[in-house]
């Protein structure tokens, strides 16, 4: 397939030849610009696959920019990523590999990705997952995460069960549904509401937003593995491969 850059050069050269003009665009008169524009339009209509190449090139450029921003942000914010006292750890707290996940309780992709984490933790007893609550899907998510923060403070030993039950549930996560989940685990509603009033987690959420912004994370789930960002629910196999790579070469993606 002709590359986009070569195709575009061919279009412009052909257009210039058809006008018998070799000059920068601003040097063309109105008629010449009109003729060149019409030529390019006709060429693109006749070869619409070029637009797919343009889209692919744009997406690759944007992804490369996101990866570069994330890599730089991970280096600068390593303590906030891996050592925040407000995060909950699942799996082996002394594991040789750590996976950090930013999630929202109402994120459908996060719900599907829950099984990826569970499968990794069941297969590999030397992995640590750090969970970063990142409520970005509206007021219900924010309220559910406030309840989660109260559970973390009141009964941290029950947070893993709470997390799995709420994220794995089929109903939308709200303050009420989150409190109901906590109540089934023995955490009293009155204690939760008092904790929410006494210890609002807004500063923690703002800190997570700032961290996510520094890493270029705009959605959930978002992972950090070693010093590499992983955007989206990439699945058990890809995450497992990156874990294996860290052990093999010290990086999530080996040369």
- Domain of residue 177, CATH code: 3.40.30.10
Residues 155 and 31 in one domain: no
- Count of other CB atoms within 10 angstroms of residue 77: 15
Q: Which of 76, 106, 136 corresponds to the end of one domain? A: 76
Q: Which of 76, 100, 130 is the last residue of a domain?
A: 76
Which residue, 76, 101, 127, sits at the end of a domain?
A: 76
> Same domain for 121 and 172?
yes
Rounded Cα gap, residues 88 and 148, in angstroms: 11
Q: How many domains, the chain? A: 2
Domain membership flag for residue 254? no
| Same domain? 92 vs 72 | no
Residue 221 structure tokens: 């789930």
- CA dist 232 and 239 (Å) reads 11
Partner residues linked to 127 by β-bridges:
97
Q: Are residues 37 and 109 in the same domain?
A: no
Prediction pTM value: 0.75
Same domain, 116 and 209: yes
Pair (176, 243) in one structural domain: yes
Give the residue numbers spanning the domain of 120. Answer: 85-249
| Three-class DSSP category at 93 | coil
Each residue's pLDDT, cut to its tens digit, for the chain (255 residues) gives 434 344 444 444 444 444 444 455 557 788 888 888 888 888 888 888 887 887 877 667 766 667 666 677 898 999 999 999 889 999 999 999 999 999 999 999 999 999 999 999 999 999 999 999 999 999 999 999 999 999 999 999 999 999 999 999 999 999 999 999 999 999 999 999 999 999 888 888 999 999 999 998 889 999 999 999 999 999 999 999 999 999 999 999 998
């Amino acid at each position: 397939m002709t590359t986009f850059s070569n195709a575009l050069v061919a279009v412009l050269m052909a257009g210039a030849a058809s006008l018998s003009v070799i000059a920068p665009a601003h040097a063309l008169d109105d008629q010449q610009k009109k003729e060149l524009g019409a030529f390019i339009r006709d060429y693109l209509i006749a070869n619409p696959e070029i637009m797919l190449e343009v889209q692919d090139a744009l997406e690759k450029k944007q992804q490369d920019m996101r990866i570069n921003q994330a890599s730089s942000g991970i280096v600068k914010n390593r303590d906030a990523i891996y050592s925040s006292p407000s995060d909950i750890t699942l799996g082996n707290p002394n594991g040789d590999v750590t996976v950090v996940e930013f999630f929202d309780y109402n994120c459908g992709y996060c719900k599907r990705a829950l099984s990826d984490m569970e499968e990794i933790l069941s297969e590999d007893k030397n992995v640590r997952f750090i969970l970063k609550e990142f409520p970005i899907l509206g007021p219900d998510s924010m309220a559910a995460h406030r309840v989660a923060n109260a559970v973390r403070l009141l009964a941290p030993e029950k947070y893993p069960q709470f997390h799995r039950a709420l994220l794995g549930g089929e109903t939308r996560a709200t303050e009420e549904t989150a409190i109901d989940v906590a109540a089934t685990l023995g955490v009293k509603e009155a204690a939760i509401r008092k904790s929410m009033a006494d210890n609002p987690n807004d500063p923690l959420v703002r800190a997570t937003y700032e961290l996510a912004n520094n890493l270029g994370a705009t959605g959930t789930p978002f992972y950090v593995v070693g010093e590499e960002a992983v955007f989206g629910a990439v699945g058990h196999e890809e995450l497992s491969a990156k874990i294996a790579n860290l052990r093999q070469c010290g990086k999530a993606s080996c040369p």
